[in-house]
Amino acid sequence: MLLVAVTLTACGGGSTPAQQPNVTPIVTPPAVNANELVQSVPVPNYSSDSGNLVVFNAVNALREKVGSGLLSQNGALDKSALAHWNYLDINTIVSLHSEAEGKMGFTGVDATARAKAAGYSSAYVDEVIFGTNGASNFAGCTASWANSVYHIGVLFSGMRDIGISALNTKDDPIYGKYTVCVADFSMATSKAEQLPADGTIRVYPYADQTAVPIVFYNQAESPIPLPQYQELGTPVTLNFKTKSFVASGVKPAIAVTQLNITPAGGQALSARILANTASGTFTSTGPELTADDHMAAYALTIVPVARMAANTVYTVSFSGTVNGTALSKSWKFTTAAN
């Protein structure tokens, strides 16, 4: 998906009597569930002043806030992301996932093919792109993916590896330089998705978040969510994907009894709920449910149909059933000054 201006220690010791041989104890490491969330990753080798490091740190910081496992830098994915970045720059394209064979810089028709060409073996590689006019707006890349409907997946994905190319384009004589960020994320075919415990609902904006944008320019996201609107309030996403769903291979069955966004002292906002009804069964007795096959499975996004108020505390309330289990969650966030 693209967007354009569019998340062990053990020690022991002892001694033996004189004239007896030292025996190294056999230590059995604790069992680790293949789906356990990654809580620490190696320090990336990106330059300290690079856009790549800005994006890497921002993505993992937000993943940790929402309760997702961290992503590790992967050199092959870095290579594929840079190859696609070069393709965009050479052909003066700000944001586009596909490449056309025969054009300069071509390395693969899609992110999966480009990663394979770079030496990364995976059944599927996801990709997010952000492009905006002006140089070195690298902090805006992750912020824009977060304030979206489709690109928010970079925060919730069970993938384990990430490759980044965040650079300034060549200087256009009319428009100047652009900031373009390409992030490819995936996991090796031998790995399992990292996912939270059953009953977990991960959300964005996360609990007690401040300076949340008041507006979402949906026309800048591609594909365009709710295209009949020119602008919307900040999307609020709930992700229900946990370990047992993957283990059992079941499709989600989510019944929403309540899902609303309410300002302090006010009434619930007029909003729409988006869900990928092709990936499972979704029903709602709350706001209107809109089928959207671009949405990720196991997720719901509620989108206010108008921009939100500044400097305001909003409460999000959810109750319903997920694959037969009753779940509920309520949390608050505060919008930015403008």
Mean pLDDT of the chain: 89
Which pLDDT tens digit goes with each residue over 199-238?
A: 999 999 999 999 999 999 999 999 999 999 999 999 999 9
Q: Is 285 contained in some domain?
A: yes
- Of the candidates 241, 234, 231, the one whose C-alpha atom is nearest the C-alpha of residue 333 is 234
212 and 179 housed in the same domain: no
> What's the pTM value of the predicted model, to 2 decimals?
0.89
CATH number of domain containing 138: 3.40.33.10
Looking up residue 309, the CATH number of its domain turns out to be 2.60.40.1220
Asked if residue 25 is part of any domain, the answer here is no
Do 169 and 266 fall within a single domain? no
Both tokens of 163, joined, read 């490759």
Assigned domain for 256 exists: yes
User: Could you tell me if 244 and 316 lie in one domain?
Assistant: yes
- Among 37-51, 68-82, 90-104, the range scoring the smallest mean pLDDT is 90-104
Alpha helices in 132-241 (DSSP H): 139-146, 153-156
Q: Specify if 23 maps to a domain.
A: no
Residue 194 resides in a domain: no
Report yes or no on 131 lying in a domain. Answer: yes
* Interatomic CA distance for residues 72 and 56, integer angstroms: 9
What's the pLDDT score for residue 204? Answer: 99
What is the count of structural domains for the chain?
2
Residues 107 and 154 in one domain: yes
Which range marks the domain in which residue 220 is found?
Answer: 202-335
Co-location of 166 and 236 in the same domain: no
The string of DSSP codes covering 18-84 is TTS---PPP--PPP--TTPPP---PPP-S-TT-HHHHHHHHHHHHHHHHTPPP-EE-HHHHHHHHHH
How many whole angstroms separate alpha carbon 337 and alpha carbon 330?
23
In a domain, 15, yes or no: no
User: What is the per-residue pLDDT for 27?
Assistant: 37
The answer on 255 and 115 residing in a single domain is: no
Domain shared by 211 and 161, yes or no: no
Going by pLDDT thresholds of 50, 70 and 90, the confidence category of residue 92 is confident
Residue 24 reports pLDDT greater than 90: no
pLDDT for the residue 34: 65
- Indicate whether 216 and 173 sit together in one domain: no
Residue that finishes a domain, picked among 118, 151, 186? 186
Residue that has been written with the tokens 């809580």 in this structure: 39
pLDDT at 254 (0 to 100): 95
pLDDT given for residue 328 in this prediction: 98
